[in-house]
Amino acid sequence: MAQLDLVVGDLEGNVAAVLASLRSAEDAGCDLCLFPELAVTGYPPEDLLLKPRFLTDNHRAVEEIAAATGRCVAVVGFVERGADRPGDERWDGGGTRPPARLANAAAVCAGGSIVGVYRKRILPNYGVFDEKRWFDPGSGPHVLYEVAGAAVGVSICEDVWYTDGPVVELGRGGADLVVNINASPFAQGRREERLTMLRRRVGEAGCPVAYCNLVGGQDELVFDGSSVLVGADGSLLGAARQFEEELLLVDLELEMRSRTLAVVPVTGAAPHRSPLPSPRIGPPLSPHAEIYEALVLGTRDYLVKNGFGDVVIGLSGGIDSSLVATIAVDAVGPEKVHALSLPSRYSSEGSVADAKELADRLGIGLSVVPIEPAHRALAGLLAPMLEGEPAGLTDENLQSRVRGLLLMAVSNSIGRSIVLTTGNKSEIATGYFTLYGDAVGGFAAIKDIAKTEVYELCRYRNARPGPGPLDPIPAAVLEKPPSAELRPDQRDDQSLPAYEVLDPVLEAYVERDRTGPEMVADGVDPAVVDAVVRLVDGAEYKRRQLAPGVRITAKAFGKDRRVPITNRYRATDAPDPR
């Protein structure tokens, strides 16, 4: 199983990565090598599929891979372009849908040619998935491919998640092994959820299942790899690392089963060779470790794949910016991280000192630039229009926007750099941020991390052995009460419920779609529920203007949650007893 980090649209680079892994598999004497879902195009290609030339180039790419195959059979994902849809000659809607029937497909390649194509049958259309926008589902009778004497069934991603779905049909039709190529994004607990599902599916299909997954970051998504081979008895016969590229080699002894499905001969009996050593089974990461690695990989791939060489971060001396700076250093190295401390008249000496200590521990450069001169100048410009200098929230936001302007100016001066925003999910959910101020930037590394989890991740990172700076986040940062420091003695809990109270309510409302009355029925304080619901609903227009960020929950702000900005629905009745 070739667990690869591929790039959407980089057909040439993706082909090179596939061929390099295929050569390694051939050299190791493999009979079969699996590659991720849509490995040729990268996943998800989205509206690149509306470009006819892209589809043509994708076909040429998979043919190049097929031409390079020898005895080792390659199963590689690509987009199959079929015939025009019936009646499409009457379509007058412009370029708003694919120009032909498209399939999310797997090419079975051997001996220099494509010997068969499997088309994904179950197309996900929920959460971050929109496959029905571009693809038609596969149909017709299943076939098996005879590889080194074994009958192999081919399936793609969602096909394995359904009881009595394609994987089970292939197993019941006589498959000795079913392979499943994937682009399954990471979310908390996803690895264990997959393993539970695969063991259930193996029991129904009666044969082993090989699950090969994509790895790497793509915009908001992070793919964790975690490719596995589950034996017919549910045992784990091989497991790849999480969040790393790997060519996982596994020997599999198969029992030949009676076959009722048609079989396509591909390669003859396997030659004699020495068995591999005991299978590699990578130990799973802890919950905090896998979240942290997802943040690092998602940040690194966003920067590298989009050509950003350096990052700029505003260090406030607070917990959020400290975590983002640490992630950035672990992602791209301290030499590429540029930090600014931008104290105002309300910033404490301790916060500036904490920012300096963090920068020293991380080994990054820090420029201290007080914003008081700019703050006073802008307040003076505004005074005639406001009949006096700005006060209250206007003045607080003015300070934040001065900082945003300076961060962007420094980023512009460096060239091919990007500002990392430092807002967490709790603040983003409630609108507790300033548009064009602390929200400014091109990527939001902790956008999907609740405030309470920010603290947990900081403690995890401080205690983590291994590469990177040791114990980078000062104890003072973890101990002081969170504050934006935009007015005297300001604390977050003056504007929001305490984060220990707020975060569970946000999780229920945002991620589990519980309504206000349902949360009250669950025992949550009605005043807290009312305040939180109003804050979340009122901030939708602000969230639409934010930078993309790493998705680590099952429902993040972005592609997952699509609530109308203009929306007057408020649940006021008692909860539905159903």
pLDDT of residue 492: 80
pLDDT of residue 274: 78
> Has residue 574 been placed in a domain?
no
- Asked if pLDDT for residue 88 goes beyond 60, the answer is no
- Asked if pLDDT for residue 86 goes beyond 60, the answer is no
> Has residue 557 been placed in a domain?
no
* 109 is an active site residue: no
Residue with tokens 């619901």: 533
Q: What average pLDDT does range 63-71 have in this prediction?
A: 96
User: 364 and 511: one domain?
Assistant: yes
| String of DSSP letters for 229-272 | EE-TTS-EEEEPPBSS-EE-------------SEEEE-S-SPPP
pLDDT of residue 35: 98
Q: Evaluate the omega torsion of the peptide bond into residue 44 and state whether it is cis, within 30 degrees of 0.
A: yes
User: 456 and 490: one domain?
Assistant: yes
- Asked if pLDDT for residue 97 goes beyond 70, the answer is no
**List 30, 33, 109, 157, catalytic entry:** 157
* 72 is an active site residue: no
pLDDT of residue 486: 78
Share the mean pLDDT of the chain: 92
| Best CA proximity match to 77, nearest among 110, 37, 46, 117 | 37
User: 252 and 299: one domain?
Assistant: no
Q: What average pLDDT does range 188-199 have in this prediction?
A: 94
- The DSSP letter of residue 225 is B
Q: What is d(CA 560, CA 538) in angstroms, rounded to the nearest whole number?
A: 19
Per-residue confidence band for 61, with pLDDT thresholds at 50, 70 and 90: very high
Per-residue confidence band for 83, with pLDDT thresholds at 50, 70 and 90: low
Q: What average pLDDT does range 176-194 have in this prediction?
A: 95
Q: What is d(CA 463, CA 480) in angstroms, rounded to the nearest whole number?
A: 19
- Pick from 87-91, 184-188, 568-572 the range whose average pLDDT is largest: 184-188
pLDDT digits (tens, 9 = 90+) for 342-385: 999 988 888 899 999 999 999 999 999 999 999 999 999 999 99
- The DSSP letter of residue 298 is H
The two structure tokens encoding residue 253: 């002894």
pLDDT of residue 95: 57
> Has residue 61 been placed in a domain?
yes
> Has residue 406 been placed in a domain?
yes
- State the alpha helices, DSSP H only, in 109-172: 166-172
Q: What is d(CA 76, CA 183) in angstroms, rounded to the nearest whole number?
A: 12
Q: What average pLDDT does range 535-557 have in this prediction?
A: 93
The one-letter amino acid code at 490 reads Q
User: 205 and 235: one domain?
Assistant: yes
pLDDT of residue 468: 78
Domain of 452: which CATH number? 3.40.50.620
Domain of 14: which CATH number? 3.60.110.10
Q: What is d(CA 239, CA 36) in angstroms, rounded to the nearest whole number?
A: 15
Range of the domain at 250: 2-85+93-269
User: 316 and 200: one domain?
Assistant: no
pLDDT of residue 483: 79
Q: What is d(CA 227, CA 250) in angstroms, rounded to the nearest whole number?
A: 12
The pairs formed by 508-515 with CB atoms below 8 angstroms and a separation of 24 or more are 509/533, 509/536, 510/429, 510/536, 510/555, 510/557, 510/561, 511/553, 511/554, 511/555, 515/571, 515/575
User: 421 and 538: one domain?
Assistant: yes
pLDDT of residue 85: 55
Q: What is d(CA 314, CA 499) in angstroms, rounded to the nearest whole number?
A: 23
**List 30, 37, 146, 169, catalytic entry:** 37
- Can you tell me whether residue 76 is helix, strand or coil? strand
pLDDT of residue 24: 95
Q: What average pLDDT does range 279-283 have in this prediction?
A: 80
Of the chain, the end-to-end C-alpha distance in Å amounts to: 44
pLDDT of residue 159: 95
DSSP bridge pairs for 97: none
Residue with tokens 């793919």: 223
Q: What average pLDDT does range 29-48 have in this prediction?
A: 95
Quick one: what percent of the chain has pLDDT higher than 90? Answer: 78
User: 349 and 320: one domain?
Assistant: yes
pLDDT digits (tens, 9 = 90+) for 299-336: 999 999 999 999 999 999 999 999 999 999 999 999 99
pLDDT of residue 562: 87
- Asked if pLDDT for residue 577 goes beyond 60, the answer is no
User: 105 and 250: one domain?
Assistant: yes
User: 295 and 424: one domain?
Assistant: yes
pLDDT of residue 96: 62
Question: What total number of domains does the chain contain?
Answer: 2
> Has residue 207 been placed in a domain?
yes
Q: What average pLDDT does range 487-503 have in this prediction?
A: 87
User: 190 and 328: one domain?
Assistant: no
For residues 44 and 255, the answer to whether their CB atoms sit within 8 Å is no
| Best CA proximity match to 136, nearest among 155, 125, 121, 157 | 121
pLDDT of residue 343: 92
> Has residue 209 been placed in a domain?
yes
> Has residue 282 been placed in a domain?
no
Task: Pick the last residue of a domain from 204, 235, 269.
Answer: 269
* 37 is an active site residue: yes
Q: What average pLDDT does range 398-420 have in this prediction?
A: 94
User: 171 and 263: one domain?
Assistant: yes
User: 332 and 379: one domain?
Assistant: yes
- Asked if pLDDT for residue 239 goes beyond 90, the answer is yes
> Has residue 573 been placed in a domain?
no
pLDDT of residue 256: 84
Stronger pLDDT, 88 or 188, i.e. the higher one: 188
**List 80, 109, 120, 427, catalytic entry:** 120
Cα–Cα separations (whole angstroms), residue 456 to 313, 343, 478, 534: 21, 26, 10, 28
